[in-house]
Structure 1
Amino acid sequence: MDTTAVLDIGLQAVILAGKLAAPILITALVVGFSVSLLQSITQIQEVTLSFVPKAIAVAAALLIAGHWMISETVSFTTQLFERIPSLLGG
């Protein structure tokens, strides 16, 4: 196994991690910004007002994108297992 193969696998893993984290992070960012904007407009500074909607939205994002996230992970793992013979030089 040469260094280019290791770098290629590492790059694919980092890209996959970014793709898997994006729906959750973007949802939390949008909801957090919206609640923060609402808090600044109404001057309500309640901690649970910023946490509860964000937790509910992230849970909804996981329910919606969960199947896609699992299928992407399984696909990546399957590709890695298929590459084992070529990585070992066979």
Structure 2
Amino acid sequence: MTDSDVVHIGLQAMLLSAKLGFPILLVALGIGFAVSLVQAVTQVQEMTLSFVPKLIGVALVLLVSGHWMLQETVGFTRDMFALLPQLLD
């Protein structure tokens, strides 16, 4: 196993985690922005008000894209196990 192999595997892992986390973070950001905008307009400054919509939004994203996320993770794991004999040389 060379240094470039380690860097390549690390890069693939970071790209996978970014790809899997992006939809969740994007929805949480959008909902947080919308709730903040509503709070600014109505002058209701309750910190716990944005928690429930974010929780529901993230749960919906996980429900919709969970299968795809699992497929991506299993594919990455299969690739790593297939690469294992080559790395042990």
- TM-score category, normalised to shorter length: over 0.9
**Under a length normalisation based on structure 2, what TM-score does the superposition of the two structures give?**
0.96
**What is the aligned partner in structure 2 of residue 40 from structure 1?**
40
**What is the aligned partner in structure 2 of residue 13 from structure 1?**
13
Q: Residue 47 of structure 1: CA displacement? A: 2.6
* Deviation digits for residues 32-81 of structure 1 (CA, Å, limit 9, x no counterpart): 00000010011112233211111110111110111111000000000000
Q: Give structure 1 regions of 4+ aligned residues with deviation exceeding 6 angstroms.
A: none
**What is the aligned partner in structure 2 of residue 84 from structure 1?**
84
In structure 1, list runs of 5 or more residues that go unmatched: none
Matches within 5 A, 1:39-78: 39-78=39-78
User: Counterparts of 1:23 and 1:67 in 2: how far apart (Å)?
Assistant: 13
User: Counterparts of 2:47 and 2:6 in 1: how far apart (Å)?
Assistant: 45
**What is the aligned partner in structure 2 of residue 22 from structure 1?**
22
User: Counterparts of 2:53 and 2:47 in 1: how far apart (Å)?
Assistant: 11
**Under a length normalisation based on structure 1, what TM-score does the superposition of the two structures give?**
0.95
Cα RMSD, aligned residues only:
0.8
Equivalenced residues, count: 89
